[in-house]
Amino acid sequence: MQSQDEDKYDEMFGPDGTVRPAYAEFHDWFEKQNPAWLHKKDKEAEIVFRRSGITFNVYSENAAEERLIPFDMVPRIIAAREWRKLKRGIEQRVRALNAFLQDLYHRQEIVRSGRLPVEMLQGNDAFLPQMVGFVPPGGIYTHVVGIDLVRTGADEFMVLEDNARTPSGVSYMLENRETMMAMFPDLFTRIPVQPVSNYPRLLARSLGACAPACAEAQPRIAVLTPGIYNSAYYEHAFLADQMGAELVEASDIRVVDGRVAMRCTTGYQPIDVLYRRVDDDYLDPLSFNRDSMLGVAGIMDVYRAGRITIANAPGTGIADDKALYSYMPEIVQFYTGEQPILKNVPTWRCREEDSLKYVLENLAELVVKEVHGSGGYGMLIGPAASRTELEKFRQKLRANPGNYIAQPTLALSTVPIFTKSGLAPRHVDLRPFVLVSPEGIEITPGGLTRVALKKGSLVVNSSQGGGTKDSWVLED
């Protein structure tokens, strides 16, 4: 999809070509570098990523393949003042998300008050009846959250979606910074950039703070991965390694004497906190998906007995359901009593008759997403679709309107990338990572900037050919 050039906002350059203040130092440095040397550095970075195995798996029809996520060396820079506001907005939203989950699985005040239609929960697979009436250890539902933000103007940041299940990408945030520091150390002595490297330590502390009462003083944390063929396996291994936690697969763990335990060389040892990177469906074959080979039979019973912490809590998926997304402004207001600091992208719920009518009539200008989809799969980008594609999608919409939401095509901001012919603007988004524990909310400055590498493209997903950038938040 192409964006209209006239109303797009470039984060480095103003409309008249002047460099915006946050980028001034970087631009000054960049101009002084020999392009041939920069290209050489670019190649070196790719070799480093390959050698370290910083890859993600892609599944095509034939075979699994390990690919690199392309890395662009031009950082995305956020001024301290901009970040302060974003941070407040993110914190507010994440607080609301946890209060919302607590309410949904208990008294459902928000439904009683008429602000959320009960149909949003009924028949929604993301709502887990097994969680009703249960308080997770520490009272935390979403230990790790990723809030996807897009920018459309100088002061216009909007939330594109909330990732409250198992947000991924944080390893790229960390590796991108490492790579930049190794490639261009002088940049970091010139420009005061807020560090991100303590994320794994904060994650370990945050998870530890939610440990169940039966845990030892030094809680035993394990990262549960679906295995080496999972697209985010690199990240699972990376985080376990950085936290000094065990990296386990479902086949390593079972319920032993009322605890969830892992099979060690000397026998089974209990786990206190399980940072799971598998979906709810694959958690417990006894409670959820009976066909699952990936789960741990009986883990939900141990969980409900308060003898293990599962992060994020089962059933948090209801909070990032795309159908519920459009209610987020009401949700934030309902639980915090404040106006939302971060706006939502205007969204039409196709389940509502008027909205469906509007969406069908204006399909060519809209982006349509599946309510339960992720990773950019199964979505329609109106402006980029052919007549036939639009017609086919209209039929899908009519057949199952409740399965879709639609949003306007946003004029996403751009940040330049480094190309053979110099700097060229490309669309970006931002996923800051948020840690929640009884001790409070921690937001790592910046996050993961994803960038569409194709000129004019708005699709930043790595599964669809997007790349990443190091994201800098400047010190005051």
CA–CA separation, 37 vs 31, rounded Å? 12
CA–CA separation, 191 vs 21, rounded Å? 12
CB closer to other proteins out of 137 and 219:
219
Residue 237 CB, shortest distance to other proteins, in Å, is 4
Q: Are β-strands 144-153 and 433-437 bridged in parallel, bridged antiparallel, or unpaired? A: antiparallel
Number of residues that bind other proteins (CB under 8 A): 23
Burial class (CB in 10 A: 0-12, 13-18, 19+), 452: buried
CB closer to other proteins out of 109 and 252:
252
If residue 296 lies in a helix (H) or strand (E), which one and from where to where? none
Residue 270 CB, shortest distance to other proteins, in Å, is 14
Q: Which residues are CB-contacts of 298 (< 8 A; sequence separation ≥ 6)? A: 254, 255, 284, 286
CA angle 125, 127, 133 (to 5 degrees): 150
Choose the stretch contacting other proteins; rule: CB under 8 A; options: 264-272, 274-282, 414-422, 460-468.
Answer: 264-272
Letter for the amino acid at 294? L
Choose the stretch contacting other proteins; rule: CB under 8 A; options: 176-184, 265-273, 344-352, 439-447.
Answer: 265-273
CB closer to other proteins out of 43 and 51:
51
CB closer to other proteins out of 266 and 388:
266
CB closer to other proteins out of 246 and 370:
246
Nearest to 326 by CA among 167, 169, 158: 158
Task: Confirm or reject binding of residue 262 to other proteins (CB under 8 A).
Answer: yes
Which residues are paired to 395 by β-bridges?
A: none
List the interface residues with other proteins, window 5-24 (CB under 8 A). Answer: none
Residue 266 CB, shortest distance to other proteins, in Å, is 5
List the interface residues with other proteins, window 202-261 (CB under 8 A). Answer: 227-228, 233, 237, 240-241, 245-249, 251-252
Residue 283 CB, shortest distance to other proteins, in Å, is 19
Letter for the amino acid at 272? D
Q: Are β-strands 267-270 and 259-264 bridged in parallel, bridged antiparallel, or unpaired? A: antiparallel
CB closer to other proteins out of 204 and 368:
204
Task: Please report how the helices 170-183 and 35-52 are oriented relative to each other, as an axis angle in degrees rounded to 10.
Answer: 140
- Are residues 342 and 158 in contact, defined by beta-carbon separation less than 8 angstroms? yes
CB closer to other proteins out of 245 and 417:
245
Residue 47 CB, shortest distance to other proteins, in Å, is 10
CB closer to other proteins out of 214 and 237:
237
Residue 297 CB, shortest distance to other proteins, in Å, is 13
CA–CA separation, 126 vs 157, rounded Å? 28
Residue 269 CB, shortest distance to other proteins, in Å, is 9
Residue 177 CB, shortest distance to other proteins, in Å, is 17
Nearest to 280 by CA among 466, 123, 130, 61: 130
What does DSSP assign to residue 61? Answer: S
List the interface residues with other proteins, window 47-66 (CB under 8 A). Answer: 50-53
CA–CA separation, 295 vs 288, rounded Å? 9
Identified binder of other proteins from the candidate list 20, 95, 263, 372, rule CB under 8 A: 263
The binding site for other proteins (CB under 8 A) comprises 50-53, 227-228, 233, 237, 240-241, 245-249, 251-252, 262-267
